[in-house]
Amino acid sequence: MGSSSCAWERGGVGGSCSSGSSSASWSGGGLDKGEVERYARQLVLPSFGVARQRKLKEASVLVVGAGGLGSPVCLYLAAAGVGRIGVTDQDDVEKSNLHRQILHDEAEVGSHKAVSASKAMRRLNSGTEVEVHLDGFRAVNALGLVEGYDVVVDASDNPATRYCVNDACVIAGKPLVSGAAIGTDGQLSVYNHGDQCPCYRCVWPDPPQEGACQRCSDSGVLGVLPGIIGTLQALETIKVLTGAGECCSQKLLMFDGLATSFRSLKLRPRQEKCLVCGSSPAITRETIGSYDYEANCGGAMHDKGESACLRVLPESRRVSCEFLRSRIDGSAATDREFVVLDVRPKSEYDFAHLRGSVSLPMDALEEEVAAGAALAREGKDTYVVCRRGNDSQVAVDKLLRAGATSVFDVEGGLQRWSKAVDPTFPLY
């Protein structure tokens, strides 16, 4: 009698036993020993199993944005066993990112976010192929990026990119898992997935005006919020890829972090007049590359370098940070008394402000403009500062209209102050 071994068919309908020698006594339904051991807790789920795990292994996902939302998306998709993940971003890691962008750590400050993200995913799962796209997501490369993947995750932070990602997904026929988080609130939906499922433009046909939508850098965000929404995006992506459960298409999931409550709103179906998925689309494969998303969809797609400053005042009403420093340290060629007026929100003033400055937030200035103008008329020079040098110009203009005389804007605000005068002043 010859020796025999039992070959169990782990991924088939049933088991079988065959005689004869074999180097391995088992089959994993397309998974090797390491994969079975790694994903065992998913494999034992009756609602998931080996067939869906194999779908993840064979799948590909493009993640647009490696920030607060993209961090849990990238980590959980890599951990879950998605075979190929592409990540695109155009920004560098900053210290202010670290409280929420858990892909990155202190050692990666200053490095490219997409590169940092790829390192984190490879450390977590060497079996996942990671592709890095350093040029960011733009109209000229949108279709080329999207067409290389099965599902696209929008983890961006600005409306121009959101519309561009959506349009490329519609044209390429790719499902889009979209999330957003700001302050203590978040929302999630799956677009372009199914015959009646709307695209992002169907639901939001009118892009916001430039400046109407603020980013986390402007409005702030509780660090855990994008983690919650990004984790849900990862879940929805897995469901779309594998067919498990019911995905969040044709509905908008809204999360209130302070109340710890969820609401689900039914979305209207695909719209005939939609610019990209309607019956007569204006944005097509031929035109998307030349469409100006920054001009038509609410502002810049990428936040590189120092923020652009408004120009609403004549140069005679503006002073440099270096000049303000000379007034503060007494080296300026004038002995007139002066006051520094800080028009940032009180919450920002509280954690960092120039010594001796007076807090008068912009929202309070509307009601107290007369008092502010009176302060600026007390025989003192008044220098107005804000975070980036935009609100301060608006404030100076209001004070001048209210009768103030010797009032000036500090160019570039406290962001410029930190870079040009005092590097110990926190950038945020």
Binding positions for Zn(2+): 199, 202, 274, 277
Question: Residue 123 and residue 78: Cα distance in Å, rounded?
Answer: 10
61: which strand partners?
85, 151
**216 catalytic residue (yes or no):** yes
The active-site residue out of 216, 247, 248, 321 is: 216
For 215-282, the three-class secondary structure string (H helix, E strand, C coil) is CHHHHCECCHHHHHHHHHHHHHHHHHHHCCCCCCECEEEEEECCCCEEEEEECCCCCCCCCCCCCCCC
Radius of gyration of the chain (CA): 27
Joined tokens for residue 363: 């929202």
Binding-site residues for ATP, in ranges, read 68, 89, 96-100, 113, 157-158
DSSP structural state of residue 408:
E
Binding-site residues, in ranges, read 68, 89, 96-100, 113, 157-158, 199, 202, 274, 277
For 356-386, the three-class secondary structure string (H helix, E strand, C coil) is CCEECCHHHHHHHHHHHHHHCCCCCEEEEEC
Sheet with 407-410, strands from edge to edge, namely 318-319, 407-410, 381-385, 338-342, 358-359
**247 catalytic residue (yes or no):** no
Question: Residue 292 and residue 296: Cα distance in Å, rounded?
Answer: 6
DSSP structural state of residue 402:
T
Joined tokens for residue 380: 């003192």
Q: Which positions are catalytic?
A: 216, 386
